[in-house]
Amino acid sequence: MSISYPRQSARTRRFSLGVPRAFQIAPDEARVVFLRTRAGDDPVTCLWTLDAATGEERCVADPAALDVPGEEDLPAEERARRERAREQAGGIVGYATDRAVKQAAFTLAGRLYVVDLDTALVRELPAQAPVFDPRPDPAGRRIAYVSGRTLRLIEIDGTDDRALVQPESDQISYGLAEFVAAEEMNRMRGHWWSPDGGTLLAARVDETPVQRWHIADPANPDRPPSEIAYPAAGTPNALVSLVLLKVDGRRTTVAWDRGMFPYFVAACWDRHGLLVVVQPRDQRAQRVLSIDPSNGETSLVHTEHDPVWTDIVPGLPVRTNSGDLVWTTEDRGTDTRRITVAGEPVTPAGLQVRSVLGVEGESILFTASQEPTEVHLYSRDGAEITRLTEGPGVFGGVRCGGVTVVTGARLDRPGAETEVRTPAGTHAVASFAETPVITPRVELLRAGDREIRTAVLLPTGWEPGQGRLPVLMDPYGGPHAQRVLAVQRMYCEAQWLADQGFAVVIADGRGTPARGPAWERAVHGDFVGPVLDDQITALIEAARKHPAAFDLDRVGIRGWSFGGWLAGLAVLERPDVFHVGIAGAPVTDWRLYDTHYTERYLGHPEEDPDNYAANSLIERAAGLKRPLMIIHGLADDNVVAAHTLRLSSALLAAGRPHTVLPLSGVTHMTPQEVVAENLLHIQVDYLKAALSS
């Protein structure tokens, strides 16, 4: 029996199940370790190894073979981490190894397990449950982990489980990342081992000053609401400090100007010593500090400053074998983000660096874009820059010695591909992901003078003369994310929408990544003008190229999160262009969104109140003239449901009809199979009804 695309997409978690990921390479180059589910519709992740000499794969830890309960009682910290990481699978969704990559630690149902990667022997250790973020020390003698808010140690043989440090109150934690670090800085962890395994750097997070919000479950009124510490724009953040903890319990506090630089961004502890990155609240600078582990004193290594904001680049800080700092700078003269070594740019103008994946010796592995719809893997060796991937696509990887793992997805074929490149040959790593039942027919174009990267999809088999189509804009449109990339599977849902009778347009306007500092900073203080103007430009250019297909008298727009805000804005601000909107989990009032994201773009609410009013959907509510559906998960702790409820109240007060679809038990993601599938059908029916006349 054939399966529909919406059901297949929901069942496969948008085709992410079965894809190998989270690769590590052993220093002796003998093995590669990774995560993967056993099938494209199997949500339970296993831990695997690949023999680098033969390419033979082996499952070394399978949750189904272990006597563990389900995931109904996951630790709150693990649920939060998965939400922040947008993790949709279950089972072994993360692991950490010792330096030799001979042992790996992971959790299942809040319990601690260790696997010998040579023998595949899995042992449960009697750690204090629930266990979160276990990390073996480099020598593989003991494991650090967090239980509750306490950072603990346990020996690798399961003995001497103990608290390394006790929180001073129930508002203080050791070894965890606070909300804005995980959600906005991409820092998911809160403790780091020294190379000798004798000391831990731990984040001490005090949430006492953070306001408390309560996320209720109205469908189950017998359940008490969940309390979360949410630092909304303009309100106090958690107080984050750092401590150095010896394995015998001795403690040293790290000293830096936390009043001026309250954000702790990243850490790197290598053979040259300990580096951390800190940032002021206005995010216009980043400081790289060196920490003396003997006394906690810090010294300045590097300062990066930008008059608008500084970007956090994944993989930094890191150092070369000779001890030179690898960093990035926003080169205003060439409008390029470039890698620097010891302060000197080493990547060329026009090559926009995305991330630093690793440094070996003096060699740097990184990702970058010349064409913003493509992300390629590069290596910098001496003065030579080599691109390691070819063809339109999005690629990444890891490297250790002579072994390089290259991951990627392409525009001309479905699915993901992974290969392990060794001096003796190349081995493919199998992907068990399902092949979509739909094949996108996508056209990538550059719209307008700004060459806005735009994707256009028409119904399968549509030909000129068959009548003009209603148009559906399907953007994200905001910072940190791109929808227009050279990856086929990214357009499957758009093709399905097109096949329901729409011309679908997706555009990445100003503010989105990989077009240079000026492009990204064009939205500073003003999301409305640049973002909305660029969507309209893309729409008009797509219609100009396809005049027989586009009916500009019937234009809808839908989006989620920032895209939800954009969809709401479009019908409120430009009803002459957009005739119906579907806003999913929209940020309707930026004062209700978090500090680190919102203040970077709109400033502090007390200092720039006009920016918040100008970018608010609630302030525009009385002007609604078009149909608007608002969808929101009631369990969302990122963009809380108050955004939708307040907009709905303002619309009702102004006498403006609208539709609200609350999703009980759904967070900012919609991984539930039935919910995800039916949401697509409901949206299509709503759009067709609104655009039928």
Write out pLDDT tens, residues 552-563.
999 999 999 999
Pick the CATH number of 442-692 from 3.40.30.10, 3.40.50.1820, 3.30.60.50, 3.40.50.150: 3.40.50.1820
The band of 76, judged by pLDDT with boundaries at 50, 70 and 90, is confident
CA atoms of 541 and 486, how far apart (whole Å): 20
Q: With helix as H, strand as E and coil as C, how does 492-522 read?
A: HHHHHHHHCCCEEEEEECCCCCCCCHHHHHC
Q: Can you tell me the mean pLDDT for 278-290?
A: 98
Query: How many Å separate Cα 396 from the centre of its chain?
Result: 15
pLDDT per position as a tens digit, 320-347: 999 999 999 999 999 999 999 999 999 9
- Work out the pLDDT band at 348, boundaries 50, 70, 90: very high
Indicate if the alpha-carbon torsion angle 395, 46, 23, 263 is positive or negative: positive
pLDDT bin (cut points 50, 70, 90) of residue 616 is: very high
- Token duo for residue 422: 């060794």
CA separation for the pair 336, 314 (Å, rounded): 16
Higher-pLDDT residue of 668 and 1 is 668
Of the candidates 231, 227, 191, 189, the residue with the CA atom closest to the CA atom of residue 211: 231
**Residue pointed to by tokens 């190349």:** 426
Q: What is the pTM of this model?
A: 0.95
User: What percent of the chain is predicted at pLDDT more than 70?
Assistant: 98
pLDDT at 1 over 60: no
Per-residue pLDDT of 656-692, as tens digits, reads 999 999 999 888 877 677 777 889 999 999 999 999 9
**Mean pLDDT on 84-105:** 89
- Could you give the percent of the chain with pLDDT greater than 90? 92
Which tokens belong to 345? Answer: 């740019």
- Mean pLDDT, rounded, for 242-254: 96
Q: What is the DSSP string of 570-588?
A: HHHH-TTT--EEEEES---
Q: Domain locations in the chain?
A: 442-692
- Averaged confidence pLDDT in the chain: 95
pLDDT of 70 reads: 67
Q: How does pLDDT run across 460-476, given as a tens digit for each residue?
A: 999 998 999 999 999 99
Residue 67 has pLDDT above 90, yes or no: no
Q: How confident is the model at residue 85 (pLDDT cuts 50, 70, 90)?
A: low
The per-residue pLDDT for 87 is 67
How large is the average pLDDT for residues 120-126? 97
179-233 pLDDT, tens digit per residue, is 999 999 999 999 999 999 999 999 999 999 999 999 999 999 999 999 999 999 9
Checking if the pLDDT of 69 tops 90, the result is no
Q: Phi-psi region for residue 207, left (φ > 0), alpha (ψ -120 to 50) or beta?
A: alpha
SS3 state at 305: strand
- Determine how β-strand 550-560 pairs with β-strand 469-473: parallel
The pLDDT of residue 389 is 98
Phi, psi of 676 (to 5 degrees): -60, -40
> Hey, CA dihedral for 487, 490, 493, 494, is it positive or negative?
negative
